[in-house]
Amino acid sequence: MNPLAQDARAAGARVGLTGDTITINGGQPLKGRIEVKGAKNLVTKAMVAALLGETPSILRDVPDISDVRVVRGLLEVHGVKVALGAEPGELILDPKDVESAHMVDIDAHAGSSRIPILFCGPLLHRLGEAFIPDLGGCRIGDRPIDFHLEVLAKFGAVIEKLPSGIRMTAPEGLVGTKIELPYPSVGATEQVLLTAVRATGKTELTGAAIEPEIMDLINILQKMGAIISVDTDRVIRIEGVDSLTGYTHRALFDRNEAASWAAAALATNGDIFVGGARQPEMLTFLNVFRKVGGAFDIHDDGIRFYHPGGELSPVVIETDVHPGFMTDWQQPLVVALTQAHGVSIVHETVYEQRFGFVEALIDMGANIQLQSDCLGSHPCRFGQRNFVHSAIISGPTTLHAADIVVPDLRGGFSHLIAALSAEGTSRVSNVGIISRGYGDFITKLRQLGANFVVEGE
């Protein structure tokens, strides 16, 4: 079995999936209410931020996903105590006894996660050393960490490449510096934030990512005692402080999960109330959802996404950094675009290879052509470099059932949506990967009336 599938099977088993295959009888609308909890791409970083505090932290609305388990395991091998709090989804993180961990233990817990790279700043501050195994993450490009290593070196980290990964030390401590990112990388921006808050002196970050998850991490760091400003020109300035306390924080909701269920409502002709979803962080998605022909109602406690009837319309989408259309939103939406009357175009400008999932959709009857040209309003980093990063989707096409192997997190959710909207019975395997980012998705599918069986149950 390939390493990804092993990882997924293990992840799936950990979240109650006996097998990692589900058999879906498609063609029925998804209808009902589900709740989204804290954002995977904030919560995992908030857990790492707790390492910086001199006192325990409390994090609320933590989703039941395997990426959280990975970070919990990594924190515990570093001596951090992680306990369940009083309310569901609450974690108490106590970094009092933080200690170095062995590379083999880090590697054993990291699995395919890229999160270990973000442990470096906090561990260098507290212990003067950090280790990173070779990193994984979804296969959606080669996922380099060059920006991260350049950032840490600029703060004064000494980086030593080992056969099994990387060892870092900070003999002179970490000192604030000026950094200009070549691309508004979310991870590299988090790397700067988690390192600069305890560095000596000031740090100025130009070309930062300002996604809502980044802003919520800044909220957390400010609660801990950090001094951080975000200027209109995406320049983030941090004044290093001598110590930080723990925090108490309720995580921002997962807008990627909310957008995925919205796409599922559209593709299955359904009606899904996503409890916990908020309009401000989904503004760009809501505009596109409406242009495709979806309808939504904003409530105080969530957003109702539904197919109002009639034909879906094609759209031209160009993914971008916030406040643009998130790259994580395009995969689920592409399934709905296969049902739109006309030709849609998606120009993926954030990752060079994020259309691997369309192969299964084409096998199911979708009409999707992939191009290496920049099919959007402006050329991106991947143009003229043979990266297949634009998709032309012609619809409507009838999707028929198929046997599918899930390739990655968001592509995997798209495959679920496709199987749910296709006529006939599909077998979707390797679904454990989906539990990396979609908490209790089997329960949620049941709540929405999906007709399926988890093999082995």
Q: Are 275 and 301 in contact (CB under 8 A)?
A: yes
274 lines the binding site for ligand EPZ (CB under 6 A): no
Region of 136-144, 165-173, 389-397, 413-421 interacting with ligand EPZ (CB under 6 A): 136-144
260 lines the binding site for ligand EPZ (CB under 6 A): no
84: Cα separation from own chain's centroid:
23
Is 451 labeled as ligand-binding? no
* Torsion, Cα of 241, 244, 250, 252 (10° steps): 30
- Using CA atoms, how far apart are residues 18 and 127, in angstroms rounded to an integer? 40
HSE at residue 420, side-chain half, CA atoms within 13 A, is 31
Structure tokens at 46: 């908030």
146 lines the binding site for ligand EPZ (CB under 6 A): yes
- Using CA atoms, how far apart are residues 123 and 187, in angstroms rounded to an integer? 17
Residue selected from 185, 268, 338, 430 as contacting ligand EPZ according to rule CB under 6 A: 185
Is 304 labeled as ligand-binding? no
148 lines the binding site for ligand EPZ (CB under 6 A): yes
Q: Where do the H-state alpha helices sit in 79-185?
A: 103-110, 120-127, 146-155
Region of 28-36, 82-90, 142-150, 246-254 interacting with ligand EPZ (CB under 6 A): 142-150
Residue type, position 176, single letter: G
The single residue of 120, 138, 374, 380 carrying the catalytic annotation is 138
Is 43 labeled as ligand-binding? no
186 lines the binding site for ligand EPZ (CB under 6 A): yes
Give residues 93-122 in contact with ligand EPZ (rule: CB under 6 A): 114
Question: Does the annotation mark 120 as catalytic?
Answer: no
69 lines the binding site for ligand EPZ (CB under 6 A): no
H-run or E-run covering 110 = helix 103-110
Nearer to ligand EPZ, 22 or 152 (CB): 152
Q: How many CB atoms lie within 10 A of CB 367?
A: 14
Three-state SS annotation for 248-302: EEECCECHHHHHHHHHHHHHCCCEEEEECCCCHHHHHHHHHHHHHCCEEEEECCE
Nearer to ligand EPZ, 102 or 143 (CB): 143
Give residues 338-357 in contact with ligand EPZ (rule: CB under 6 A): 350-351
Q: Are 334 and 391 in contact (CB under 8 A)?
A: yes
The 3-state DSSP class for residue 8 equals: helix
Strands 248-250 and 57-60: parallel
Region of 8-16, 184-192, 283-291, 332-340 interacting with ligand EPZ (CB under 6 A): 184-192
- Interface with ligand EPZ (CB under 6 A), residue total 25
131 lines the binding site for ligand EPZ (CB under 6 A): no
Minimum Å distance from CB 140 to ligand EPZ? 6
Binding residues for ligand EPZ, rule: CB under 6 A, are 40-41, 114, 138, 141, 143-148, 183, 185-188, 209, 256, 327-328, 350-351, 409-410, 437
Which residue numbers are catalytic?
A: 138
Binding-site residues for UDP-N-acetyl-alpha-D-glucosamine sit at 114, 328, 350
